[in-house]
Copies of this chain bind each other. A is one copy, B any other.
Amino acid sequence: MSDKPLKVALLGCGVVGSQVVKLMREQAGDLAARIGAPLELAGVAVRKLGRKRDVEIDPALVTTDAEGLVARDDVDIVVEVIGGIEPARSLIVSALSGGKSVVTANKALLAEDGATLFEAARQGNGDLYYEASVAGAIPLLRPLRESLAGDHVKRVLGIVNGTTNYILDKMDSTGASFTDALEEAQSLGYAEADPTADVEGFDAAAKAAILASLAFHSRVTAAEVHREGITEITATDVASAKAMGYVIKLLAICAKSDDGRSIGVRVHPAMIPRTHPLAGVREAYNAVFVEAESAGQLMFYGKGAGGAPTASAVLGDIVAVARNRRAGTRGPDESTYADLPVHEMGATVTRCHVALDVADKPGVLARVAEEFAQHDVSIQTVRQEGHGDDAQLVIVTHQATDAALTATMAGLRELDIVRAVASVMRVEGD
């Protein structure tokens, strides 16, 4: 055991930051034993001094000069939990360029401009670790990056946003509308006052970009992720899925194309069978399902957010980069050797569940089936519900490209026998 402490600078002291300070303090002995040297808090950069925080910190350690803290020669490890693009990016780049190691939970920044950060880490010869950026406490990035390093990942299918999972789970279990379920999530603190980043899928899309980059050894940014939110999902959609043995989840899906030459990365609501392991993921929990060539199906499940769970992931990374610094080495670099392009959503292969309000007369099914056939989409099951003005055709397709499915829907809308395309939902996981 060395006496010389490793000094940690903390950027941001909100929900996660104060938990990091608390855990560093409470577990000082264990952390020192695991690292081989004690950790010491060098300073905490905050936006405003004197604000009430969840943890008591020696005022001498608190500063508003984040840039100055990051530049200090005695700092070994910088922990960034401010979030957002700037000033987080400049501070991380400055820390890495100065030879420090960085631990961050900043999914938005990694998904928008990870390349700049990884390049700075390479040049400064330090570590950039970010386990907390996806699925909070669930150890996911390290397994993808290291445990599966000898395997080929084919597909990653994940529930990576706790807010939307809470909302959809409530809609499924109570029959509530989206608006009511959102309000409940807000009152319980699972959703923010402005829920856009969650319910429109932006948060999940950033995570999907990070997962796809790691799984396929390529560089994927959030802008390349096809994104659809859950605001249009009705209680009827949920009930109809339920009646068919499905449940609606907001999924982040990263998959290789059949020829292995490109990848599809998308976030959208989808129906999955209730027998699928992801179907049982309730409330605000997260889970990520990974299909690898040799390993087969794997699932990682746990809390995706919250101060303590996220801080647990941050602390795990701090221990790892601290060990690396003591050993004079670095963790694995960004791996982008495969350099696969992201294909358009239209080229993605998926399936659809479609409900059509139709005229209740002979020949309707034939005309509808012909429309599917024209776009090379084959039908797996079709069921007629109701009669007269309530007549509805419920169709589940076989696999087809999203472009063909979209074109089919457009064609159906033009048919005079189709009064309305009542709902369209992709089907995944079977």
Q: List residues of A whose CB falls within 8 A of some B CB.
A: 19, 23, 27, 30-31, 33-34, 131, 137-139, 142-143, 146-152, 217, 277, 280, 292-303, 306, 308-309, 311-320, 323-324, 327-330, 332, 335, 337-338
Cα distance A143–B137 when bound, in Å? 11
The 3 closest A-B pairs by CB, nearest first: A150-B315, A139-B147, A139-B143
Task: Report whether B294 and A151 are in contact in the complex, using a CB–CB cutoff of 8 Å.
Answer: no
Given contacts A137-B298, A294-B309, A297-B302, 20 further A-B pairs with CB under 8 A are: A23-B151, A27-B152, A30-B152, A33-B338, A34-B217, A131-B147, A137-B294, A139-B146, A148-B316, A149-B316, A150-B311, A150-B316, A150-B317, A150-B319, A277-B280, A295-B302, A295-B309, A298-B301, A301-B301, A328-B329
Chain copies in complex: 2
A298→B312 CA distance, assembly (Å): 12
Which residues in B have their C-beta under 8 angstroms from that of A31?
150
Whether B300 contacts A312 by the Cβ 8 Å rule is: no
Smallest CB-CB separation from A332: which chain B residue?
B323
Given A23-B150, A142-B147, A292–B277 Cβ distance below 8 Å?
A: no
Find chain B residues with CB under 8 A from A138 CB: 295, 298
Are A150 and B298 in touch, CB under 8 angstroms? Answer: no
Residue pair B148, A294 in contact (C-beta under 8 Å): no
- Once A142-B147, A152-B27 are accepted as A-B contacts, the answer to whether A19 and B312 lie under 8 Å apart by CB is no
Residues from chain B with a CB closer than 8 A to the CB of A292 are 137, 312
CB distance B295 to A313 under 8 Å?
A: yes
Q: How far is the CA of A11 from the CA of B191 in the complex (A)?
A: 54
Q: With A and B bound together, what is the CA distance between A19 and B296 in angstroms? A: 14
Query: A315–B294 contact, CB under 8 A?
Result: yes
Contacts of A149 in B (CB 8 A): 34, 315-316, 319-320
Q: How far is the CA of A327 from the CA of B316 in the complex (A)?
A: 22
A151 contacts which chain B residues (CB < 8 A)?
Answer: 23, 312, 315-316
From B148, B152, B294, give the contact of A19 (CB < 8 A). Answer: B294
Partner of A146, one of B309, B320, B335: B320
Alpha-carbon separation in the docked complex, A217 to B31 (Å)? 12
Residue ID in chain B nearest A279 by CB atoms: B280
Residues of chain B lying within 8 A (CB to CB) of residue A317 = 150
Q: Judge whether A146 and B296 touch: CB under 8 Å.
A: no
Which one of A150, A293, A300, A332 has the highest number of Cβ atoms from chain B below 10 Å of its Cβ? Answer: A150
Complex: A318 Cα to B327 Cα, angstroms = 20
Identity of the chain B residue whose Cβ is nearest the Cβ of A328 in the assembled complex: B329
